[in-house]
């Protein structure tokens, strides 16, 4: 059974007198434990799709299901609970709290989730045990993104949504982050949805969903994804 | 502690200067609230206990003479609790300086009296007829102690007495000679107590008293009882009835405590509202600045309510902390303030309690206002959708402001002026807030400074414009007007520099309304009393009818043309109806004015006078008049003015305090608003810096914006000041004085100078912040 599915998902915005169709009738499924990359150029609708899946925005039309629960039918309170317990977010610009230490940033999320993981183990897993008491301003970009990943993972969500997780990082740091995400997927068994415009990153995914102008143009199942170390950009 | 609360603490730490500025306002407001309320309660309780313990009478009836055996008849009224008679007369202290006139009120007492018990502070109570008890204020001012000899003159006869003791008495908490004196002159007016028999003998009232003191049961209908007593003692010529409410000392204390209560409940609210407004503005800005953070919190799974509460807690911490610190400081101050009041009023006992409930009330009050401000300020949190918050904020649509339609005016402005005006319209709420702050500061400054001119009116103009005589001499017995021509034989005075007058206390009634006041009969062309109508135009006493001071007309609820009844105190004389011919503008006291001959004919006998106003350069006037037998008192305008001048120092001190107080408010409002302005436009100013603007030029840009608000705020502050003055005039006007606090030009000028000074200080404080701002760092940040 698919862990996540969308059905005719559409989202339009009104910009003055013009209606912008950010997402048009998008239908796809993600299986449990998959590493999925949504690939597309800027303005293709991938961030809108991620926001709708993450319960951060509501569609104009269509549905999103987590297993057999329709999250697009949720009210505000249920959406908050969904974001709290079922999904974890990793952002391009990390978006961690400047006035909390690395560990406190992770605790900020675990404090409100129902079934969090052990923070020490998570910090160990993201290789931040030695830096956990540092404030974001004392951490490198890669370390900040690790905090962001730790914060998302520590909630023990069913699915991890990553929006251009390497977009703000240099190549080497980007590779290390991707390795970490891959480990989260393989070793922790978390389903991962990563959106990116970088085609090379797509090569490590189990599935690649290509988007353009708000529509899915291709849904490819990779039979033998590459190891992170084997990709270059 | 939850991590979101850690964030809160660090948020407070990062905005500590603004947080402290808000705390200072809250703490000030709460200190005033707690200290003044507790002082007011403690003072009220102390005064009540003092009155109760020392048997302060409820009523004082004065008459020519009450036969001693008739006194007990008053106690036949079921409402009357205790009754006693005593002698109440005037006298003077003979001092080494023959020119010095020291007036005395001489009262008789006895250790077995049921009412008006003295508190012995030094020495012993009266043991023989040659001893006197001296009221503390007078004793202190003249350095009088037990066993000191005193020479007092009563009815022209000098008696050598010895001081038995120094006392305090609830009748003389505030020691003044008359309502017209207003301020105590402890060196030149005092109260002495002598034995009943001695007093009766020296006043020629053997077997009689001329004052009846009455205390009544709780829940007594005072008006009814007064009417019954007046009727009962009518044959003995009741001249005046003084109730506790109209008792001068008690009235002043009441007024003081009412003012204290008024301040206790209005000033803190003003402070807390300002703090609340600043908090609202700050939190509104924080929410805008933290848009991304709020989006993340919501994305992680925090509910709208949880995020909103995160910001409300910021306000709540300020409220609780301010409430706690303020109420503790307020309680400490309340003790000192109560003692200060007790010292000032010479109350020899203290009923002091710490009302810990005020800590709770103060914290509740400040927390409630802060929570409301927090909710209103941070309500924008609810509108932030997590998905939108992740992206950059859509810029607000720009549009022309209405001033641009006034093309002629708009073209006259320089580019930087146009920029400043446009910026003011960009954030209307903040601009309105600063405008309100400046107007409020200016209004308070205007009101405060108009108090100086009012005091000047009351203290100086009264003696230079309203009454211009050098001396006001009262006679013991009325004389024919032409008898006054004997005076130039005693002192150096020209006949055209003196003017006879009649003065006597009466009760005037209009239906159920009643007022006791001195009616003065004047020469219609008086050169010493200059009456003015409420519109400040000169007016003369009419040939018939009565002019009433404004406050008296108000008490009686009469207007020109109405009739009032004058209750006659002389036995056998009928009450008289008299028509109100107009009103008199008067700051001190409550009086009626009539034509001298008309008053004489109506209430006494035509051609009689019982006093004289005069101007004289005679240096020995006091000395010479002391010897004259029919002289009851000599009041020198110069001496009275000197006393007022002394008290003006105190007034200036309190005015300085009020100016500081208003200035702190203005400072806090402008400082905080400018800080929020700076923080919200960090990116904009960074861009200007990149374009080549210096820090100074950016500061000037902000200065220009604030100066426009300062100018407009001062203009708007004029009606605010007028309203404050009008409100205060109404609140402070009493039977004793009528205050007209209409601001003068002088008050406006001073208010403008002080307002500009404090606002300038606030702007200079923000200049330091501009120097410290890292503009380039702001440019790199995604948040602005």
Q: How far apart are the first and last CA of chain B?
A: 29
Residue B473 near residue B491, CB atoms below 8 Å = no
Contact B779/A at CB under 8 A: no
Place of tokens 């020479």: B151
Cross-chain Cβ contact A97/B293 below 8 Å: yes
Residue B765 near residue B672, CB atoms below 8 Å = no
- The pairs formed by B284-288 with CB atoms below 8 angstroms and a separation of 24 or more are B284/B377, B284/B378, B284/B380, B284/B429, B285/B676, B285/B679, B285/B680, B286/B11, B286/B15, B286/B311, B286/B314, B286/B378, B287/B311, B287/B377, B287/B378, B287/B380, B287/B381, B287/B384, B288/B380, B288/B680
d(CA A131, CA B259): 62
Query: Per the structure block, which two tokens stand in for B53?
Result: 């313990």
Cross-chain Cβ contact A99/B11 below 8 Å: yes
Q: Which residues of B touch A109 (CB under 8 A)?
A: 300-301
Cross-chain Cβ contact B300/A85 below 8 Å: no
Query: Per the structure block, which two tokens stand in for B64?
Result: 């020519």
Cross-chain Cβ contact B10/A100 below 8 Å: yes
Q: Chain B residue closest to A52 (CA)?
A: B387
Cross-chain Cβ contact B385/A56 below 8 Å: yes
In this predicted structure, what is the pLDDT of residue B310?
93
In this predicted structure, what is the pLDDT of residue B134?
96
Q: Which residues of A touch B390 (CB under 8 A)?
A: 51, 56, 91, 95, 163
Q: Chain A residue closest to B292 (CA)?
A: A95
pTM over 0.90: no
Q: Is B542 exposed, middle or buried (0-12, 13-18, 19+ CB in 10 A)?
A: middle
In this predicted structure, what is the pLDDT of residue B282?
84
> Of B362, B325, B286, B356, which Cα lies nearest the Cα of B672?
B286
Residue B606 near residue B276, CB atoms below 8 Å = no
List A residues 52-71 in contact with B (Cβ-Cβ < 8 A).
54, 56-57
Cross-chain Cβ contact B303/A77 below 8 Å: yes
Query: Per the structure block, which two tokens stand in for B223?
Result: 């008006």
Contact B691/A at CB under 8 A: no
Q: How much is the ipTM here?
A: 0.76
Residue A11 near residue B388, CB atoms below 8 Å = no
Q: Give the model confidence (pLDDT) of B442-474 as tens digits.
A: 988 888 888 776 666 666 677 778 888 888 888
- Taking CA atoms, B680 is separated from A211, B289, B383, B563, B684, in Å, by 38, 7, 19, 68, 9
CA B566 from chain center: how many Å? Answer: 32
Mutate to test the interface with B, among A43, A76, A109, A158 (most CBs of B within 10 A): A109
- Nearest CA of chain B to the CA of A163: how many Å? 11
- Give backbone dihedrals phi and psi of B210, rounded to 5 degrees, phi first: -120, 10
d(CA B363, CA B343): 31
Contact A86/B at CB under 8 A: no
Contact A107/B at CB under 8 A: yes
Q: Chain A residue closest to B305 (CA)?
A: A77
d(CA A65, CA A36): 16
Q: Give the model confidence (pLDDT) of B61-103 as tens digits.
A: 998 888 888 888 888 888 999 999 999 998 889 888 776 778 8
Cross-chain Cβ contact A91/B296 below 8 Å: yes
d(CA A214, CA A11): 9
d(CA A169, CA B717): 57
Place of tokens 């020490």: A120
- Nearest CA of chain B to the CA of A225: how many Å? 30
- Nearest CB among B292, B302, B387 relative to A95 is that of B292
- Nearest CB among A76, A83, A100 relative to B300 is that of A83
Contact A195/B at CB under 8 A: no
Low-confidence ranges of chain B (pLDDT < 50): 782-784
Q: Chain A residue closest to B389 (CA)?
A: A56
- Nearest CB among B14, B293, B299 relative to A54 is that of B299
Cross-chain Cβ contact B782/A56 below 8 Å: no
- Give backbone dihedrals phi and psi of B636, rounded to 5 degrees, phi first: -95, 130
- Nearest CB among B4, B301, B390 relative to A83 is that of B301
In this predicted structure, what is the pLDDT of residue B783?
42
Contact A111/B at CB under 8 A: yes
d(CA A173, CA A165): 11
In this predicted structure, what is the pLDDT of residue A19?
86
d(CA B730, CA B779): 56
d(CA A158, CA A185): 11
Cross-chain Cβ contact B300/A81 below 8 Å: no
Contact A89/B at CB under 8 A: yes
DSSP B110: -
In this predicted structure, what is the pLDDT of residue B650?
59
Residue B452 near residue B754, CB atoms below 8 Å = no
In this predicted structure, what is the pLDDT of residue B177?
80
Q: Chain B residue closest to A49 (CA)?
A: B387
Low-confidence ranges of chain A (pLDDT < 50): none
């Amino acid at each position: 059974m698919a862990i996540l599915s969308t059905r005719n998902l559409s989202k339009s915005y009104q910009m003055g007198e013009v209606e912008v169709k950010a997402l048009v009738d998008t239908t796809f499924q993600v299986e449990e434990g998959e590493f999925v990359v949504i690939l597309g150029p800027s303005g293709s609708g991938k961030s809108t799709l991620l926001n709708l899946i993450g319960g951060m925005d509501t569609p104009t039309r269509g549905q999103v299901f987590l297993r057999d629960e329709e999250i697009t039918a949720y009210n505000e309170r249920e959406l908050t609970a969904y974001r709290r317990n079922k999904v974890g977010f990793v952002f391009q610009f990390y978006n961690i709290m400047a006035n909390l230490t690395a560990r406190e940033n992770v605790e900020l999320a675990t404090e409100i989730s129902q079934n969090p993981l052990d923070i020490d183990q998570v910090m160990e897993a993201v290789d931040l045990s030695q830096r956990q008491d540092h404030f974001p301003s004392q951490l490198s970009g890669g370390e900040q993104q690790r905090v962001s990943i730790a914060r998302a993972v520590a909630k023990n969500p069913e699915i991890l949504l990553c929006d251009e997780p390497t977009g703000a990082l240099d190549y080497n740091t980007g590779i290390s982050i991707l390795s970490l995400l891959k480990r989260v997927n393989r070793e922790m068994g978390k389903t991962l949805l990563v959106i990116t415009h970088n085609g090379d990153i797509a090569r490590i995914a189990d599935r690649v969903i290509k988007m353009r102008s708000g529509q899915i143009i291709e849904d490819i199942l990779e039979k033998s994804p590459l190891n992170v170390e084997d990709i270059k950009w | 502690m939850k991590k979101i609360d850690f964030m809160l603490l660090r948020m407070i730490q990062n905005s500590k200067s603004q947080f402290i500025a808000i705390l200072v306002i809250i703490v000030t407001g709460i200190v005033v609230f707690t200290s003044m309320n507790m002082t007011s309660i403690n003072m009220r309780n102390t005064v009540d206990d003092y009155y109760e313990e020392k048997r302060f009478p409820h009523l004082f009836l004065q008459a020519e003479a009450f036969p001693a055996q008739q006194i007990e008849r008053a106690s036949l009224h079921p409402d009357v609790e205790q009754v006693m008679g005593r002698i109440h007369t005037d006298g003077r202290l003979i001092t080494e300086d023959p020119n010095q006139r020291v007036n005395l009120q001489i009262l008789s007492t006895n250790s077995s009296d049921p009412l008006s018990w003295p508190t012995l502070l030094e020495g012993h109570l009266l043991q023989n007829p040659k001893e006197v008890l001296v009221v503390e204020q007078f004793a202190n001012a003249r350095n009088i102690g037990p066993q000191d000899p005193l020479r007092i003159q009563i009815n022209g006869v000098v008696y050598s007495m010895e001081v038995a003791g120094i006392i305090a008495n609830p009748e003389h908490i505030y020691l003044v000679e008359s309502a017209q004196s207003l301020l105590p002159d402890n060196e030149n007016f005092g109260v002495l107590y002598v034995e009943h028999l001695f007093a009766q003998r020296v006043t020629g009232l053997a077997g009689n008293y001329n004052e009846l003191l009455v205390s009544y049961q709780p829940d007594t209908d005072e008006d009814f009882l007064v009417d019954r007593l007046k009727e009962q003692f009518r044959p003995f010529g009741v001249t005046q009835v003084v109730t506790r409410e109209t008792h001068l000392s008690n009235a002043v204390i009441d007024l003081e405590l009412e003012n204290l209560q008024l301040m206790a409940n209005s000033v803190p609210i003003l402070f807390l509202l300002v703090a609340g407004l600043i908090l609202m503005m700050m939190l509104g800005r924080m929410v805008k600045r933290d848009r991304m953070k709020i989006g993340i919190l919501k994305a992680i799974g925090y509910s709208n309510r949880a995020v909103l509460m995160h910001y409300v807690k910021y306000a709540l911490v300020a409220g609780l902390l301010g409430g706690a610190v303020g109420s503790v400081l307020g309680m400490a101050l309340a003790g000192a303030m109560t003692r200060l009041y007790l010292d000032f009023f010479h109350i020899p006992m203290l009923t002091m309690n710490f009302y810990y409930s005020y800590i709770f009330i103060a914290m509740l009050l400040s927390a409630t206002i802060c929570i409301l401000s927090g909710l209103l300020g941070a309500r924008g949190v609810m509108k932030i959708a997590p998905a939108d918050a992740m992206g950059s904020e859509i810029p607000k649509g720009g549009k022309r402001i209405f001033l641009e339609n006034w093309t002629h005016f708009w073209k006259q402005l320089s580019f930087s002026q146009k920029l400043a005006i446009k910026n003011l319209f960009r954030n209307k709420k903040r601009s309105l807030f600063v405008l309100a702050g400046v107007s409020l500061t200016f209004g308070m400054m205007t009101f405060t400074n108009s108090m100086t001119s009012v005091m000047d009116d009351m203290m100086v103009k009264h003696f230079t414009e309203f009454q211009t005589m050098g001396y006001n001499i009262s006679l013991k017995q009325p004389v024919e007007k032409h008898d006054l021509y004997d005076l130039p034989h005693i002192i150096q005075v020209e006949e055209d520099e003196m003017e006879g007058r009649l003065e006597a206390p009466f009760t005037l009634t209009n239906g159920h309304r009643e007022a006791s006041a001195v009616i003065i009969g004047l020469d219609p062309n008086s050169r010493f009393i200059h009456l003015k109508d409420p519109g400040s135009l000169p007016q003369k006493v009419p040939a018939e009818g009565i002019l009433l001071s404004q406050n008296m007309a108000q008490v009686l609820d009469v207007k020109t043309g109405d009739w009032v009844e004058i209750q006659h105190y002389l036995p056998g004389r009928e009450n008289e109806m008299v028509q109100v011919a107009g009103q008199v503008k008067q700051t001190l006291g409550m009086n009626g004015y009539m034509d001298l001959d008309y008053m004489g004919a109506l209430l006494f006998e035509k051609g009689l006078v019982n006093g004289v106003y005069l101007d004289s350069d005679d240096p020995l006037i006091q000395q010479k008049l002391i010897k004259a037998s029919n002289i009851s008192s000599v009041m020198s305008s110069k001496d009275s003015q000197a006393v007022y001048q002394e008290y003006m120092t105190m007034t200036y001190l309190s005015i300085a305090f009020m100016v500081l107080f208003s200035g702190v408010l203005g400072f806090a409002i402008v400082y905080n608003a400018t800080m929020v302005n700076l923080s919200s436009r960090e990116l904009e100013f960074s861009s200007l810096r990149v374009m080549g603007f210096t820090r100074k030029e950016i500061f000037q840009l902000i200065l220009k914006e604030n100066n426009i608000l300062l100018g407009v705020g001062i203009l708007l502050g004029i009606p605010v000041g007028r309203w404050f003055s009008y409100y205060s005039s109404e609140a402070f006007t009493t039977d004793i004085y009528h205050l007209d606090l209409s601001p003068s030009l002088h008050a406006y000028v001073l208010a403008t100078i002080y307002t500009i000074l404090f606002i300038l200080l606030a702007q200079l404080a923000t200049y330091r912040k501009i120097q410290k701002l890292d503009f380039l760092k702001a440019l790199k940040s995604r948040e602005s």
